Structure 1
Amino acid sequence: MLADGLHVLFCGINPGLMTAATGHHFARPGNRFWPVLHLSGFTPRLLKPAEQGELLSYGLGITNVVARATARADELTAEEYAEGGRLLTAKVTRVRPRWLAVVGVTAYRAAFDDRRARVGPQERTIGDTRVWVLPNPSGLNAHWTAAAMAEEFGRLRVAAGGQRVLPRFVVPR
């Protein structure tokens, strides 16, 4: 789900098995990405994974650090993360979103070799693209509540435009 000039390109770690089976990002029922995206004001209503194409109309895109599907992200190797970081950098350089939002601090640290990264805006940029690390919305990440995640996503939303993202027409690439 990419287009040139997005407000925010969200980047998950890698496809889970449900995502691989359906072709829809964050498709596992326990994943909190879609509810948190709505609660934070990025979307005017709760989208279902099958409606991911609507993200482009809000100036939002979605991709992954690593393309290989796994049951759990801890099945990925350091080499896969490093290669994913290189490929993601090339992708961001090509489509030039205002913000890259990596969903998962551990994935960001591994992909960009930044052991000190914390959730929030990063010093790193990719060209003119700013980088923000968000908490992982997986149900396995129990120490982040949906409300706390929505607050962090909302901080990014404000930084990306200052108000709720309104629909716009975007031609997919």
Structure 2
Amino acid sequence: MGKGSGYSPHEISGRNSGQSVMAGVGNYLKKHSEALVKDVGIEAACTLTGRSKATLGRYYSDAEEHADRFMPIDAVAALEGAARFPHVTTALAELQGITLSYDQERRNSEGGGINSDVVALSQRFAMLMGEYSQSIEDGIITINEAKRLLRETTALQRVLLDMKLHLEEEAT
């Protein structure tokens, strides 16, 4: 890919040679497509997209004969609407070097201020450290553990942003 593509061949393919960047990108997208289907459930995914199990399977198959088959964007949109996390959208953003903030938090009230931000910050940091402690227990952080850590880090980042905005309000 060209300049500014947001990734290197080594980051995507995980190899030093033997696999092109595009094949690495394809595998990366296929893994996230599979995660999306599994998040929703195969039966529900079939219903939502109007596609068969076999067709959905081809979209994330790493078999050579399916290397050029990818999930259409309408299917991605339908599945991500039902999923707990926007797997494919996040993968596409990461490939371009873009960081998305997925705000799953639904607060009961919009109120608060700096004091409630400090409490939320402490709670989020504790949750992040709890996830980290669990993840590193066996000495290895798996992909799923890394995803959980990333979600907690993003939630912590959101609390910090809210805190920054409240501080700027008070400073003016």
Q: Which has the higher strand share?
A: 1
**Larger-gyration structure (1/2):** 2
Q: Is the TM value for this pair above 0.5?
A: no
The TM-score, its normalising length taken from structure 1, stands at 0.26
Structure having greater relative contact order (Cα 8 Å, sep ≥ 6): 1
User: Could you say which structure has the higher helix fraction?
Assistant: 2
TM-score, normalising length: structure 2? 0.27
